[in-house]
Amino acid sequence: MNKSLLQLIVAISETRNFTTAGEKMNMTQPAVSRAVTSLERELGVTLIIRDRRHGVALTPVGERTVRIFREILQGYDKVDQEIAKEKGLETGCVRIGAFPVAASYFVPKLISQIKQHYPKLEFSIVEGTIADVQEWLDNRQIDVGLLIPSDKTTDSFPLYREGIYAVMRGDHRLNGKNIIRPEDLREEPMLICKAGYEPPVLSWFESAGETPKVKYILYNYRTALQMVLAGEGLAVMSELSLLDRPQGLTLKRLSPQAYRDIHIATGPVEDCTIAVKLFIEAAQKVFPFQAEHEPLIEI
């Protein structure tokens, strides 16, 4: 038994759902089932009852075992803290790279959480495009990056699932629609943000066999919002970039609904310092990943 397996069993006990527990541990549902079956075979007892009708339930021995697992996990936390002190973690530095909306929304909350336990730990923060963050990680210029994963991203952990919405002026001809489909935008001049922001938007158009009529290619979401406000076209943008949108713009849900997942990415996990691992753990506690949730913005 390792720490991840203990965390998985505890997560199942809390969520009563293999899929949800797997999302917390960045595991697929079949992988969760295999891990549970393997542990039960190793222990020689049934810990969890699977019932398609009533969901997941712990057996009496499962309930007792989970309590012990929680105590063991608390012991792991204490060991990490002691090792961190011994290795001078409190005077170390975690180098963070993030694209702007992720930096402004997530990083202050994460640093605040960690500093409650390690007040002398220092952080450095650099902002850039999603492509910049990936490059900095590849070059070991940063320890952790907040980004949208690509085929270049290796070790990463899901942090937040953003909804994607159509943005238009309040007087636009499509403003009367509650839902926007790709074919609705067939003849509309579009603003597209590049440098790693565009894949989920282009994928949404492609899902309906459509190609956006791109009028402007931009690298700054604030510029895109101002251009939409000026009547220069429509945009399809992510949730966090719309938190501080200017007045006069309206948002519309998409069909099919589109999302993008923000990840915390690192170099090879085995090479991460304890400081980086604690940063990731804090992120997962402050922002537990949810595949479905209410948006942060009003639609």
Q: Please write the tens of the pLDDT for every residue from 111-167.
A: 998 888 778 788 999 999 888 999 888 878 888 999 998 877 778 889 999 999 999
CA distance 236 to 256: 13
> pLDDT tens-digit profile of 188-243?
999 998 867 788 899 999 999 999 999 999 988 899 999 999 999 999 999 999 99
Domain 3-86 has CATH 3.40.47.10: no
Q: Are 189 and 232 in contact (CB under 8 A)?
A: yes
Give the pLDDT mean for 17-30. 89
Domain positions in the chain: 3-86, 89-155+266-286, 160-260
Length of the chain: 299
CATH annotation of 89-155+266-286 = 3.40.190.10
Domain spanning 160-260: CATH superfamily:
Periplasmic binding protein-like II (3.40.190.10)
State pLDDT tens for residues 87-120.
Answer: 655 556 788 999 988 999 999 999 998 888 778 7
The answer to whether 89-155+266-286 and 160-260 have equal CATH topology is: yes
Q: Is the pTM of this model over 0.95?
A: no
- Two tokens, residue 277: 């691992």
Instruction: Give the CA count within 13 Å in the CB-facing half-sphere of 94.
Output: 26
What span, in angstroms and rounded, lies between the C-alpha atoms of 49 and 147? 38
